[in-house]
Amino acid sequence: MNESMTNGNDEKPATRRRSSFLWFSLALLGISLCVLRVAVASQDGAAASAEAARTLWQSIGIWVAAFMTLGIFSFLYKDNPFYKVCESVLIGVSAAYWMVSAFWSTLVPQLFAKLSPTLVKSYAMPSLTPSETPGLDFALALVPLALGGMLLWRLAPKGQWISVWPIAMVIGVTAGLRLISAVESDFLAQISATMRPLIALETTTDAAGVATRSFDFWGTVGGFVGVIGVLSVLSYFLFSIEHKGVVGKSARLGIWFLMITFGGAFGLTVMGRITLLAQRFEFLFKDWLGIG
Amino acid sequence: MTNPQHIGGIRGFFARLGGIDRRWIFLAMGLSIAIPILLKLRFPEYPGPMAKATFDAVEKVPEGSTVLLSFDYDPASAAELQPMASALVHHCASRKLKIVFMALWPLGKQQADRTIDTVLKPFHPEYREGIDYAQLGFQAGNEGVIKVMATNLPKQYPNDADGKAIGDIPLLKDTKDLGAFKLVASISAGYPGAKEWVQYGNGAMPDAFEVVSGSTGVQVGQLLPYYPKQMEGLLVAVKGAAEYEMLVEAKYPAADPEVIGQGRVRMGPQLVAHLLMIALIVLGNIAMIAGRPRGGAR
């Protein structure tokens, strides 16, 4: 007997009662929200007019979105079939959307339009601008076509090594493309941005247009914190020197800087997630229930 | 660890808190967000230096110049980014700047269309498509799109989103490359987005235009090193959106403050939820300390 069957047979009456209570509560909550929705729409003039301005399909879309939102939220109580359905719909729709989007935004304009511009213009892209060098475009498009075919060879029963070549080309081109910009923007420019005056001065211009420079306390503090932070964090990543003495103390300070950075990043992530939840509640209250 | 059931008094109460069913926390968090929304709680926002820098960057652009707004996000991030996109479009239009919309994300085009329909058309009906604004839409290619635009914009975008040839659009017919824009603003949720605009746009033409960005909270850590040298302004998550809205609304009041006020609306629940979270962190630590055996090893 497998484990799930054993669990099913041995399910305690208390667990079953709790599960029934959960479903009864969820059903009651759903019915209450629907009743509230109807009541608000009939009583509130603004909600009723907003409802009247919607087309039937918009209303259906809002109801489906509301039930999907509640279905995903139901996971917070317990994993359940309603959640599973909503999750599967999300994954299926997303995968289908990305597939169609990639076909129409990449394959059709970047490949098929170059291989057969007349056919694509007639049946897929009426706005396709004719190329000045169709022969060259055709010849160049054969390269990604061949590489794409080689990549799909991975699915063949034999000769999977063929797919390694296009992957190698993608990696090589991407590395080459990113190397220069990374060196310029993420390395040289960052070093330059770090080299700022430790004693910061603030320039203010009065009504007569006379500029005066004064000591900027917080700018100076920021400058010192920046320099100490960069040096101490860099010393933490010096793995070829044992973290003892001055290097050890500096590395320990570097850990503090890193921890504060991670804390800040976590706080920002929390803020983002709360915003997402707030927006979903706004949708449920305003667009679906017509309150708030 | 001592069994919390065997500890009495206040210490026992706090020790038992450590084992609380997490669904109570979910419920408390839900209420802390739902109640401020229903009560329409709003708190004053005080614009920070990054929001001010973004506002000033737009203010600096001479009237009648063209700016490029790249919608590099999709509905999953719209809760954070749509408020700043709406405020930015209203700000640019109020300053009589020509706006070119584009997207590096497939659904960014729909977000831009939505902003045009909800902000540009109702608040600035004088804006005419093709003359005062243009919608280039989405192009696949990630940073490759920016790289080609930096040297030959018509090659990357031979048509606008409606299929109209770029040479037939008055606003874009003389545009050769990214140098035609005085400001590039990327409303960005990740890759490709603001980072790529700095690396491949600003990196290729550092003196041609300024880059400003609005970013999600998750991503902003990657963008902070670029501010202020490589990125003139940066709006940080919904807090940045709310601060920027304050600045825009103060100088250019919108006909419907609800549309240019979504960021501030979402800051009410933020405050209550953050207070709850701080309280839970404090309580969690107290529960952990209370659950330790007295005089025992840590």
Name the pLDDT band for A13 (thresholds 50, 70, 90): confident
* Domains by residue range for chain B, with CATH: 4-40+273-290 (no CATH), 49-257 (3.40.50.10160)
> B-contacting residues of A 186-205, CB under 8 Å?
186, 189-190, 192-193
- On whether any CB of chain A is under 8 Å from the CB of B139, the answer is yes
> A-chain residues within 8 Å CB-CB of B29?
277
- Lookup: tokens for B94: 């109020």
For residue A240, the SS3 value is: coil
Tokens of A122: 């007639």
* Residue A227 pLDDT: 92
| Chain A CB within 8 Å of residue B239 CB | yes
Encoded amino acid at B288, one letter: M
Q: Where are the domains of chain A?
A: 12-53, 201-279
Torsion of CA A138, A139, A143, A148, to 10 degrees: 30
Point out the residue among B37, B163, B217 whose CB comes nearest to the CB of A271: B217
Rounded distance between C-alpha atoms, residue A62 and residue A141, angstroms: 43
Going by pLDDT thresholds of 50, 70 and 90, the confidence category of residue A180 is confident
Within 8 A of B144 by CB-CB distance, chain A residues are 177
Instruction: Please list the ranges in chain B whose pLDDT falls under 70.
Output: 1-6, 295-298
Nearest residue of B to residue A103, measured between CA atoms: B140
Distance from the A76 Cα atom to the nearest Cα atom in chain B, whole angstroms: 7
Residues of B in contact with A125 (CB under 8 A): 163
Helix axes A164-181, A134-152, angle to 10 degrees: 120
Asked whether the beta carbons of residue B26 and residue A189 sit closer than 8 angstroms, the reply is no
Model pLDDT, residue A54? 83
Query: CA dist B252 to A40, B94, B95, B213, Å?
Result: 35, 7, 9, 20
A249-274: average pLDDT: 95
Q: Does A131 touch chain B (CB under 8 A)?
A: no
Which pLDDT score, from 0 to 100, does residue A32 have? 74
- Write down the ipTM of this complex: 0.89
Q: Does A25 touch chain B (CB under 8 A)?
A: no
pTM equals 0.86
pLDDT number for residue A103 = 92
In the stretch 191-210 of chain B, residues with CB closer than 8 A to chain A read 198-200, 202-203
Contact between chains at A105 and B203 (C-beta distance less than 8 A): no
DSSP assignments along B238-298, one per residue: HHHHHHHHHHHHHHS--S-TTGGGHHHHHHHHHHHHHHHHHHHHHHHHHHHHHTSPTT---
Strands B233-236 and A211-215: unpaired
Q: What is the pLDDT of residue A59?
A: 92
pLDDT attached to residue A11 = 57
Q: Do the Cβ atoms of B140 and A105 come within 8 Å?
A: yes
Q: What is the chain B residue with the closest CA to A184?
A: B203
Interior CA angle at A76 toward A73 and A78, to 5°? 110
CA distance A273 to chain B (A): 9
- Within its chain, how far is the Cα of B293 from the centroid? 47
CB atoms A272 and B163 under 8 Å: no
Q: Is residue A212 predicted with pLDDT exceeding 90?
A: no
Residue A153 has pLDDT above 80, yes or no: yes
Q: What is the pLDDT of residues A214-257, one digit of tens each?
A: 888 998 999 999 999 999 999 999 989 899 999 999 999 999 99
| A95-142 pLDDT per residue, tens | 999 999 989 988 998 899 999 999 998 888 887 888 888 899 999 999
A16-70 confidence digits (pLDDT tens): 776 677 677 767 777 777 777 666 666 666 666 666 678 899 999 999 999 999 9
Distance of CA B246 to the CA centre of its chain: 15
Say yes or no: A36 contacts chain B, CB-CB below 8 A.
no
Q: If you measure CA to CA, which chain A residue comes closest to B156?
A: A110
Q: What is the pLDDT of residue A40?
A: 64
pLDDT score for A129: 80
What is each CA distance from B5 to B12, B238, B282, B291, in whole angstroms? 7, 43, 21, 10
**Predicted pLDDT at A251:** 96
pLDDT of residue B296: 56
